[in-house]
């Protein structure tokens, strides 16, 4: 497919409620929407970078710069075959995986529309509905947390993840476990601990958690290996796994026993697929992480999570968990069995609402060959 034009949209979308993690509190989610034009078709991709470098060093500002000045120029006017072809052409751009992944998603959407096949079909997905859970941000007190968890359980979410940070960990997890002895429960620290301070988390081992996500620094596989030896509960890596190579190293050194796959974090769906395939062979369970995506990224996550190795519930919520108004005409809803349907129309299977897109746009630019 000939890449004729690429539009970048810098968006800011109000969240239905603030979301707080160990790295900060967000009330409006920024992201980039990327439109790729080719032979009468348009493909959409979402770059999951945020305004601040809290989850990742990348921001909407750096992704805008690197897309406009390096990634897009490498493919504009070119004839592209597929995602692997794209990855080869941007190989010399070091890092900036969130930026690369946003563009790669748009190429998959284009390819699906060209071939009249859904992203699920292109990736080799096997499920029509995927099991999901909700990620609950830090709340003011343990009892407020229990009330919030209760609301999500009533809405039908069958798996709860709570965010933790030093001083707000064992007490919160214990309160939720005591209130709901049987639910599927897991915690996410977003790298807030050191090997020493993480020893304070040892009581979590009694709470029958599905996993403990990313307790230590993103660049610290070795200390995760040391920490895993002290826990029966599986450690799960998110921020640490940026490539199939990282996944292989983490598995070989037993730095984790579960991997959270986010296409955005690993430079694209092609790389997410490679990590999935590796984990399937190695018998390491995976699930799809979430980045407060719009309907565009949500559709991509659902297709990815329909692959056979995604055996744990994914952080893919219904649209109304994050946004009262979304940029897709489609809204995703939760089925009573805590699943969400995987789109099956060509490409991502969603239609962008151009009015909503305009409403949320902070800046737009058009890049042509
Ligand atoms: C995680 N997400 O699994 C991430 C982290 C995260 C759903 O828990 C703005 C932009 C706010 C990106 C908050 C969930 C964010 C963000 C949290 C990513 O670690
Ligand atoms: Mg995480």
Residues whose CB is less than 8 angstroms from the CB of residue 292 and which lie 6 or more positions away in sequence, other chains included: 15, 19, 26, 29, 48, 322
pLDDT confidence band for 184 (50 / 70 / 90): very high
- Paired with 162 in beta bridges are 136, 187
Question: Quick one: average pLDDT of 167-174?
Answer: 98
The answer to whether 323 and 298 are in contact (CB under 8 A) is no
The answer to whether 318 and 137 are in contact (CB under 8 A) is no
- Exposure string (b/e) for 12-50, b if CB count within 10 Å is 16 or more? ebebeeebbbbbeebeebbbbbbbbbbeebbbbbbbbbb
The answer to whether 72 and 41 are in contact (CB under 8 A) is no
- Taking only the tens place, the pLDDT of each residue in 329-359 is 999 999 999 999 999 999 999 999 999 999 9
Residues whose CB is less than 8 angstroms from the CB of residue 300 and which lie 6 or more positions away in sequence, other chains included: 46, 105, 108, 119, 263, 269, 293, 348
- Taking only the tens place, the pLDDT of each residue in 296-333 is 999 999 999 999 999 999 999 999 999 999 999 999 99
pLDDT beyond 90 at 165: yes
Quote the percentage of the chain above a pLDDT of 70. 100
- Nearest ligand to the CA atom of 292: 1
Residue in 161, 163, 165, 184 annotated catalytic: 163
Quote the percentage of the chain above a pLDDT of 90. 100
Q: Which residue has the tokens 């092609």?
A: 270
Query: Can you say how many angstroms the Cα of residue 67 is from the centroid of all Cα atoms in its chain?
Result: 20
Dihedral angle, C-alpha 167, 171, 176, 180, nearest 10 °: 160
Helices and strands (H and E) in the chain: how many: 12, 13
Q: Give the up-direction half-sphere exposure of residue 364: CA atoms within 13 A in the CB hemisphere.
A: 10
| Closest alpha carbon to 71 in 107, 28, 115 | 107
What confidence score (pLDDT) does residue 17 get?
Answer: 97
- Nearest ligand to the CA atom of 314: 1
What confidence score (pLDDT) does residue 234 get?
Answer: 98
Is 227's C-beta closer than 6 angstroms to any atom of ligand 1?
no
CA pair distance 262, 243, nearest whole angstrom? 11
Checking phi first, is residue 244 left (phi over 0); if not, alpha (psi -120 to 50) or beta? alpha
pLDDT beyond 90 at 175: yes
Is 322's C-beta closer than 6 angstroms to any atom of ligand 1?
no
pLDDT beyond 90 at 42: yes
User: Does the annotation mark 155 as catalytic?
Assistant: no
Query: Can you say how many angstroms the Cα of residue 230 is from the centroid of all Cα atoms in its chain?
Result: 28
Report how far ligand 2's centroid is from the alpha carbon of 172 (Å): 17
pLDDT confidence band for 369 (50 / 70 / 90): confident
Report how far ligand 2's centroid is from the alpha carbon of 214 (Å): 6
- Taking only the tens place, the pLDDT of each residue in 69-114 is 999 999 999 999 999 999 999 999 999 999 999 999 999 999 999 9
| Closest alpha carbon to 106 in 56, 47, 50, 65 | 47
What confidence score (pLDDT) does residue 117 get?
Answer: 98
What is the enclosing helix (H) or strand (E) of 334?
none
User: β-strand 24-38 against 41-47: which pairing, if any?
Assistant: antiparallel
Is 58's C-beta closer than 6 angstroms to any atom of ligand 1?
no
Is 314's C-beta closer than 6 angstroms to any atom of ligand 1?
no
Structure-block tokens of residue 54: 């809290």
Name the average pLDDT for the chain: 98
């Amino acid at each position: 497919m000939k890449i004729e034009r690429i539009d970048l949209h810098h968006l800011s979308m109000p969240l239905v409620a603030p979301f707080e993690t160990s790295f900060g509190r967000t009330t409006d989610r920024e992201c980039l929407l990327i439109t790729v034009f080719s032979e009468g078709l348009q493909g959409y991709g979402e770059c999951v970078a945020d305004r601040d470098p809290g989850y990742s060093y990348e921001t909407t500002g750096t992704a805008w710069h690197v897309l406009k000045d390096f990634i897009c120029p490498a493919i504009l006017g070119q004839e592209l075959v597929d995602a692997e072809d794209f990855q080869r052409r941007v190989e010399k751009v070091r890092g900036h995986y969130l930026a690369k992944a946003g563009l790669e998603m748009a190429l998959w959407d284009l390819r699906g529309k060209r071939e009249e096949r859904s992203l699920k079909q292109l990736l080799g997905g096997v499920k029509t509905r995927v099991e999901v859970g909700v990620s609950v941000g830090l709340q003011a007190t343990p009892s407020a947390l229990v009330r919030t968890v209760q609301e999500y359980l009533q809405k039908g979410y069958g798996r709860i993840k709570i965010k933790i940070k030093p001083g707000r960990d064992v007490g919160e997890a214990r309160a939720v476990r005591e209130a709901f002895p049987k639910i599927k429960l897991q915690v996410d620290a977003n790298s807030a601990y050191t090997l020493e301070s993480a020893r304070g988390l040892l009581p979590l081992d009694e709470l029958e958690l599905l996993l403990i996500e990313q307790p230590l620094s993103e660049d610290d596989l070795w200390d995760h290996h040391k920490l895993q030896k002290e826990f029966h509960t599986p450690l799960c890596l998110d921020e640490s796994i940026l490539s199939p190579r990282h996944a292989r190293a983490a598995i070989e050194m037993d730095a984790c026993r579960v991997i959270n796959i986010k296409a955005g974090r690993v430079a694209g769906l092609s790389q997410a697929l490679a990590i999935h395939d590796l984990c399937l062979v190695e018998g390491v369970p995976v699930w799809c992480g979430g980045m407060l995506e719009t309907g565009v990224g949500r559709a991509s996550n659902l297709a990815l999570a329909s692959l056979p190795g995604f055996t744990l519930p994914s952080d893919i919520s219904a649209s109304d968990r994050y946004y009262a108004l979304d940029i897709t005409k489609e809204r995703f809803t939760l089925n009573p069995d805590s699943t969400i349907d995987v789109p099956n129309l060509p490409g991502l299977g969603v239609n962008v609402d151009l009015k909503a897109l305009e409403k949320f746009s902070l800046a737009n630019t058009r890049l042509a060959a």
